[in-house]
């Protein structure tokens, strides 16, 4: 089993890169999907979020309005820290269960976990390899304004809530510059995938020797 963390800033194109790896045989765990799960009514984090932020963040079906909650926490670093302290432990438990489930079915699985805050929360230390999807802050801003309909200020608030992407580069084993064409990104993914397969083969050979 190979445990890989995939990270990058908001709007960097991590989901697109993750799909490219999935098409080549990787198992993908999307931490945003797990976060949605624990924030659902009855989920591991729902009660504590509502207790802290109040029922004003809920819609008519008692689901958390993520846009409203985001509007609160991305303007207030203390509130963002509080939310993360509630959500991250619950998400980590779900992630561990998902990894175990995959490995039980495929001992040689290459698991790529899409984790936006991989480095910020220290989860990179639990990974065998870290892959960073890189785009400049200017490109990030343009993409999320277009994708989400945010104002410039809203987009910058979300970007500034994360560790600057340039500071993440030293933590990465591989960097994918995702500012080029889709074909250029796919070519980079191809090169990295071949190296991952080589590493898995080398690791397997080492186990046989032991």
How confident is the model at residue 200, as a pLDDT? 87
Query: Token pair of 101, please?
Result: 């489930």
Q: Which domain holds residue 13?
A: 2-209
Q: State the Cα–Cα distance between residues 88 and 51, nearest whole angstrom.
A: 17
How confident is the model at residue 175, as a pLDDT? 97
Q: Contact 32/158 with Cβ under 8 angstroms?
A: no
Secondary structure (DSSP) of 28-72: EEEHHHHHHHHHSTTSTTHHHHHHHH-GGGB-TTS-B-HHHHHHH
Number of domains in the chain: 1
SS3 163: coil
Question: Could you report the per-residue pLDDT of 167-210, keeping only the tens digit for each?
Answer: 999 999 999 999 999 999 999 999 999 999 999 888 766 665 55
Q: State the Cα–Cα distance between residues 29 and 33, nearest whole angstrom.
A: 8
Q: Contact 132/119 with Cβ under 8 angstroms?
A: no
How confident is the model at residue 43, as a pLDDT? 93
Q: What is the CATH number of the domain that holds 75?
A: 3.40.50.300
Q: What is the pTM of this model?
A: 0.88
117, exposed or middle or buried, with CB in 10 Å at 0-12, 13-18, 19+? middle
**Cβ neighbours for 137, distance < 8 A, ≥ 6 positions apart:** 9, 159, 164, 165
Question: Could you report the per-residue pLDDT of 11-69, keeping only the tens digit for each?
Answer: 999 999 999 999 999 999 999 999 999 999 999 999 999 999 999 999 999 999 999 99
Closest by CA to 50, choosing from 61, 36, 39, is 39
């Amino acid at each position: 089993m190979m445990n890989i963390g995939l990270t990058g800033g908001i709007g960097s194109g991590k989901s697109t890169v993750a799909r490219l790896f999935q098409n080549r045989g990787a198992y993908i765990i999307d931490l945003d999907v797990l976060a949605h799960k624990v924030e659902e009514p009855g989920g591991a984090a729902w009660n504590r979020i509502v207790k802290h932020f109040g029922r004003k963040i809920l819609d008519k079906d008692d689901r958390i309005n993520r846009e409203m909650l985001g509007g609160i926490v991305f303007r207030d670093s203390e509130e963002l820290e509080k939310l993360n302290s509630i959500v991250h432990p619950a998400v980590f438990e779900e992630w561990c269960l998902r990894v175990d489930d995959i490995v039980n079915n495929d001992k040689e699985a290459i698991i790529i976990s899409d984790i936006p805050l991989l480095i910020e929360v220290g989860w990179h230390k639990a990974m065998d390899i870290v892959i960073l999807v890189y785009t400049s802050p200017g490109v990030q801003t343009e993409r999320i304004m277009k994708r989400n309909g945010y104002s410039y200020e809203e987009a910058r608030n979300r970007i500034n809530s994360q560790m600057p992407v340039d500071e993440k580069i030293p933590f990465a084993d591989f960097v994918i510059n995702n500012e080029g064409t889709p074909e250029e990104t796919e070519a980079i993914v191809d090169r990295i995938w071949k190296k991952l397969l080589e590493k898995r083969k080398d690791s397997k050979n080492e186990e046989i020797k032991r």
